[in-house]
Amino acid sequence: MGRRLVWGLLIAFLCCAISLFLAPNDLHRSLVAATNHAQQDHHVNRAYNDALAKSILFFEGQRSGKLPADQRVTWRGDSALADGQPDNVNLVGGYYDAGDNVKFGWTISYTTSLLSWAAIEYRQQITSAGEIEHLRQAIRWATDFLLRSHTSSTTFYTQVGDGNKDHSCWERPEDMDTPRTLYKITSQNPGSEAAGDAAAALAAASMVFEHVDAAYSSKLLQHAKSLFEFADKYRGSYGASCPFYCSYSGYQADVHAYE
């Protein structure tokens, strides 16, 4: 009985000793793991923030027109300051498409819609990354151009520049000497797809600026409604008159989606 008691006390003591020995190490390992996880999260967040910032910065490199004083892509200069003059309209601004110097209203509209929905759906995350104002500026650079392109209730300029001649000459927009040919849709030459996409872009952007610049938001919505009415009333495929980025599936999806 005495020997059992001794062995029992010894085993209990060893168990206590082992637990006291392991506990600090387990705690240490837990702390190290938590620290490493936090560091990994920090590095991952920094990487995502950096990717987000560079993605938005990309659009400043695509800017056309008179660049603002706060332009961050400093190697880009003013360009295409006479766009629209052949028709006595102001089509300065907007974005160049890809690596060329043509401005396509349809692709600008699509891009604007995507940027706007990102600003709406992920406003909190983009704000925490410190990029919400840069994103709004990117959207507004596009919407300002779309507003200028909508010169009347039945006129919308869809392209500035000759795509074929531009694509045969690789040059900086600051130095370009290719024709700045103008293309537009009207009641006689409709393009419901292009007008519908522009309407969607301006409507989405109006939501971005609703609580930031109410007057500008209202202006965007007004033009969005007008463009939709234009697309709906004068139904016709953009594929019949467009020189580039034509429609191959018809206008029905672009118009009926908003009905």
Give the pLDDT band (50/70/90) at residue 249: low
Dig out the tokens for 146 from the structure. 């779309």
Least confident residue range of 28-37, 84-93, 246-255: 28-37
Number of continuous H segments (helices) and E segments (strands) in the chain: 8, 3
- pLDDT at position 30: 46
Q: What's the confidence (pLDDT) of residue 242? A: 74
252 pLDDT band, cuts 50/70/90, is low
Question: What CA–CA distance (Å, rounded) separates 158 from 241?
Answer: 10
- The one-letter code for the residue type at 75 is W
Q: Quick one: average pLDDT of 72-93?
A: 97
Residues 139-179 have pLDDT tens digits of 999 999 999 999 999 999 999 999 888 888 889 999 999 99
Angstrom CA distances, 191 to 139, 205, 254, stand at 23, 21, 10
Q: Which residues pair with 157 in a beta bridge?
A: 184
Supply 236's token pair.
Answer: 């016709």
234: pLDDT strictly greater than 60: yes
* pTM for this predicted structure: 0.81
Tokens of 229: 């009415």
| Nearest CA among 165, 169, 147 for reference residue 156 | 147
- Compute CA 60 distance to the chain's CA centroid, rounded to the nearest angstrom: 12
Distance CA 103, CA 19 (A): 72
* CA-based nearest residue to 106, from 259, 256, 248: 248
**What would the two tokens of residue 187 be?**
């009641």
Nearest CA to 206 among 130, 259, 139, 129? Answer: 139
Residues 177-229: pLDDT tens digits?
A: 999 999 999 999 999 999 999 999 999 999 999 999 999 999 999 999 999 99
